A and B are shown apart, each in its own frame.
Chain A
Amino acid sequence: GNSVTQMEGPVTLSEEAFLTINCTYTATGYPSLFWYVQYPGEGLQLLLKATKADDKGSNKGFEATYRKETTSFHLEKGSVQVSDSAVYFCALSDQGYNQGGKLIFGQGTELSVKP
């Protein structure tokens, strides 16, 4: 069945460091891929998405590219800030983008950025 695997956390970085959070997936068909972020004490917010192979999603300095050949959707940011400290979830949809469907989430990766 469909699944998402993220690198384990916590990830601890200094401010202005480069961030990579790895995400790989297993899916049949052509899922859409998402990164959600959860700040302390809050629900999840959509950070970025990609709906087909080679698409790059970007938002707030974060980027991720949908790589079908490696079944990956790694999250990157060139220079993290303390305010980026949060839990990051990779997710895929189980149907095509215009068909709605459910999301399947990875286990989450906690990021802590120190000043």
Chain B
Amino acid sequence: DVKVTQSSRYLVKRTGEKVFLECVQDMDHENMFWYRQDPGLGLRLIYFSYDVKMKEKGDIPEGYSVSREKKERFSLILESASTNQTSMYLCASSLSRPEQFFGPGTRLTVL
């Protein structure tokens, strides 16, 4: 079974802090994705990556950056956390087909 793990289930940070969310997948998937999930808005794509060191902006990239130095790891970075970034963050991975496999999510609260 594909396993996608995220570094934290719950995280509390202060406004202005730099925040790192880590995602690791163990199935050699080429594609990795970061979403945020908010009530009534569904999942919105922040960034995705089709290969190591490659990244593309999704629908809501403002305030975020990403890093993919190794195939199995995709990091989401909040350069200066703000309260409107309080959300559930979901990481996913996929092969060349569109089915994505999701991690358990990180619920981030920015105070």
A-to-B contact residues, CB < 8 Å = 32, 34, 36, 41-46, 49, 89, 93, 95, 97-103, 105-108
Contacts of A36 in B (CB 8 A): 102
State the total of A-B contacts with C-beta under 8 angstroms.
58
Q: A100-B94, A105-B43, A107-B42 are in contact. List 6 more A-B contacts (CB 8 A).
A: A32-B98, A43-B105, A44-B90, A93-B98, A105-B42, A106-B42
Contact flag A34-B43 (CB < 8 Å), given A43-B104, A102-B33, A102-B48: no
Contact flag A102-B45 (CB < 8 Å), given A32-B98, A49-B99, A93-B98: yes
- B 81-111 binary contact with A (CB < 8 Å = 1; else 0): 0000000001010111111111111000000
Q: Which residue of B lies closest to A109 (CB)?
A: B42
Contacts of A32 in B (CB 8 A): 98
Interface size class of B (residues with CB under 8 A): 20 to 34
Is B4 an interface residue, CB under 8 A from the partner? yes
Chain A's interface: helix, strand, loop or mixed, by majority? mixed
Provide the bound-state CA to CA distance between A95 and B31, in Å. Answer: 14
B98-A101 in contact (CB<8A):
yes
Provide the bound-state CA to CA distance between A89 and B94, in Å. Answer: 18
A89-B99 in contact (CB<8A):
no
